[in-house]
Amino acid sequence: MFGYILLVFLVSYFPIVINQTPIVNIQWVTIAAFLQFGLYFEILLTQMAVLFMLVRLNLGKGDSYRFPMNSLMFFFISLCSGLVYFAVGGNTSDMQFSSLIGPIIIYQISLFLFNELFLVVAQWYTGRKRKLFGEDVVWDIIGSLVSLPLGLSLYYLIQEIGSGAFLLLGVPFVCVSYLLTMYKSSEDVNKILQKAADIGHDLTERLRVEEVLSTFITRIVETIPGAEAYIYDVKQGEFLLLEFSSDATRLPRAIQHENSWEIFKQVSESKSPMLVKNNEIKDHELKKENWKNLMVVPIIRSQKVEGILLLTTYKRSGFKKYEVMIADILASYLGVAIQNARNYEKTKRNSERCGLTGLYNFRFFENFIELEMALLKDGKRQNLSLILLDIDHFKQINDTYGHQAGNEILIDLSRRLQNFIGKKGTVARFGGEEFVVLLPDFEKNEAVELAEQFRLSLESEPFPVHDTMVAPLNDRVYITASFGVSSAFLDSDDETALVRNADRALYVGAKQKGRNKVASYSRG
């Protein structure tokens, strides 16, 4: 009996994982044990095999249900198959091959059918789907075809040569299982490396930092099953949480560098990934989550640690070595992708924004007004109004206080105008001391009223100027502005007319009539 137990232990130590399911072919051993010692010992041996296999897999607390479920399932498979064997006339003390072969074939078929039945029920119960002729079923069929001749060979060899049979059949089988396990592992690594390359290409296609982070988090938890992911940015002496996976436990969003977790410091200094087990975690914030293992990976760009990738898992088996390698590769891709996205956003921002005021520039506004006019024509907007304003006597301000003071006023006015308009519309610098506001779904009278409110606030609150040619430091200057308003399709049929008519109202209706006024354009 000891030989059977030892062989079952060795076979259970090298499971083959198919579709994330460990497969251990012990049936050939239990067939021989069943024929030699009967159903009771076969059930006992199968239960030992289940225990050996689950201990070998180092299942976490989330998988603790699997031991009682598998134990119960294999108990009924053994019991039902054994009863079928006896029902068709099988006898465990029968040594005659001719009288044994029929019942044992039926017994093997029963094992396969009951195994499939209980697996379908178990996987349905746990929310997983099992295909009728999937890859795992094919492996079960192959295993059953191999098990019967091997089991009969072991049974008859034991009768002939005793314990030596375990060496003659057991050693080759264990070696083949080990080779298949290694082959499967190398195959998994190759697949994940290809997946990592695909993720790298996917990241480079993202042009916004938010998209890069979101894509990376989604893809890495798919690539490393059972992991929760966090990305921290290293910025001005702090680790700032940028993104985390949807099922992740929330960790602090900001950690002062001097109070940062010890593992973050070590990884930042070594610039190398680090694996940490639960009993090695010193930081209270991390330890209290009861993770079994942590993986901390530096995000490096130009030989500098720009961020930290933190992966956590509740699996007792932790992270595999090749998963650390994959995470390190992906972190390198992430560092490059974030930098590229930031460069793109900066370039885009510079091309769309005024360098002085930070408002949208005229180039952006031209494209934006075309889009809004198209929405109006399609019936997706009810109205579209435009306000054009020009600072009165701005040349005198420049001549008196200097261009630097004039720039300060432009910056301050831009800030006030942007805060005043808020989400009601879009503000842009039209050129020089002119500004434009586009107001979707605003009627003309509403736009005129809005312009008048801003005109009053503008004339009543002075502008501080700090860099002047003749005035004392921290002087305060009062300014006014003239406004022109137009509205489509009330007085303008397209975007060009909308701007031109507001400009006419500004100069004819406001500037020429004394300035510091709001004027609206009327047809005819």
The one-character DSSP state at 506 is: I
- Distance, CA of 230 to CA of 415 (rounded, Å): 36
CA dihedral (251, 257, 258, 259) in degrees, to 10, reads: 0
Residue 60's closest CA among 293, 295, 324?
A: 293
Please report, for residues 83, 384, 436, 439, the alpha-carbon distance to residue 498 in angstroms, rounded to integers and kept in the order given.
90, 9, 11, 12
> Which three-class secondary structure state does DSSP give residue 485?
strand
- Distance, CA of 233 to CA of 285 (rounded, Å): 18
* Sequence-ordered list of residues with C-beta below 8 angstroms from that of 381, at least 6 positions apart, any chain: 372, 375, 440, 441
**Edge-to-edge strands, sheet with 238-244:** 254-256, 238-244, 227-235, 304-313, 293-301, 274-277
The one-character DSSP state at 278 is: G
Residue 443's closest CA among 489, 508, 494?
A: 489
User: How many CA atoms does the CB half-sphere of 123 hold within 13 Å?
Assistant: 15
- Distance, CA of 171 to CA of 24 (rounded, Å): 16
Which residues are registered as beta bridge partners of 481? 391
69 CB burial (10 A radius; 0-12, 13-18, 19+) = middle
Q: Which residues does the annotation mark as catalytic?
A: 433
Residue 510's closest CA among 478, 479, 477, 485?
A: 485
Q: Are strands 518-520 and 481-488 parallel, antiparallel or unpaired?
A: parallel
